[in-house]
Amino acid sequence: MKNRKFAHAISQMQWYAFRIDFQFQCAKRGIEFRLADRRYPSSKTCHQCGNVHKDLKLSDRTFVCPDCGYTEDRDLNAAHNLRDTVAYTVLDLQTTMF
Tell me the per-residue pLDDT of 60-97, one tens digit each, with 9 for 90 and over: 899 999 989 899 999 999 999 999 988 888 887 766 55
d(CA 38, CA 28): 25
**Residue 96 forms part of a structural domain:** no
**H helix runs in the chain, sequence order:** 4-12, 15-29, 74-84
59: domain range? 34-90
**76 shares a domain with 38:** yes
**Average pLDDT of span 2-23:** 75
How many domains are contained in the chain? 2
Assess if residue 5 is contained within a domain.
yes
- Same domain (yes/no): 18, 39: no
Residue 98 lies in a domain: no
Based on the fold, state whether residues 47 and 84 are members of the same structural domain: yes
Lowest mean pLDDT among 8-12, 21-25, 78-82: 8-12
**Do residues 40 and 81 both lie within one domain?**
yes
User: Residue 6: is its pLDDT beyond 50?
Assistant: yes
Q: pTM for the whole thing? A: 0.68
